[in-house]
Amino acid sequence: MTASPWIPSLDVPLVLASASPRRTWILSMLGIPHVVDPAHIDESQEDESDPAAMVLSLAAKKASETSRRHPGALVLGADTIVYLSPHVLGKPGDPEHAKEMLANLSGKEHVVWTGIHLAMDGKPIKGAAVPAKVRFRHLAEHEIDSYVATGDPLDKAGSYGIQGPGLGMVESLEGCFYSVAGLPVAATIELLRDWHAQQTKGNKKA
């Protein structure tokens, strides 16, 4: 059961198909009870030429995969990428790779795309792809070295996390801060509200 000031009671369990501590933290801040069951999918075959379609597809696949283990539950999948045109920047392979990514992002604007998608009983329902523009200030080599040495960038797309010490690299942000952290707040609330409204409408017709 869900009790939040921002969405009506969903009347079904909500499952987050992600191991990201940032995403579960954001849902918890919104007062949305949920359980966590990360999805395990192959992300290697995605087309990187359309970042919006890519994150939407990955979020849908994650939600659908996890939902097969939770009959009757509503599952929320999410995926975040860093896009420095024309390249998608994934997680770094090692510290040197992280330094290379950050040097490429230095002084430039990039787009962080986060896709969210709902699924139930193995079937995708509805989703959204949300962009946020981030500009890094010009970074000195020693700053990049110091940040990478913290270990913070090694498990994050684009080799940084805005909700931690990586915030010190950001010069400006246009869009949702929490979307860059992994879960767009307004879009997530709207998605859950829309699902509830459709369920309520269907129940009244029945």
Positions marked active-site: 79
Q: Name the residue among 167, 144, 178, 155 with its Cα closest to residue 27.
A: 178
Whether omega for the bond prior to residue 51 falls within 30 degrees of 0, making it cis, is: no
DSSP state of 94: S
Residue 128 structure tokens: 């959204």
Q: How far apart are CA 9 and CA 1, in angstroms?
A: 6
Let me know: does 101 contact 122? Beta carbons within 8 Å: no
Compute and round to an integer the Cα radius of gyration of the chain: 18
Please name every residue paired with 89 in a beta bridge, in sequence order, or none if there are none. 82
Cα–Cα distances in angstroms (integers) from residue 53 to residues 76, 85, 202, in the given order: 17, 15, 29
Run of H or E including 81: strand 74-84
> Burial of 72 by CB count in 10 Å (0-12 exposed, 13-18 middle, 19+ buried)?
exposed
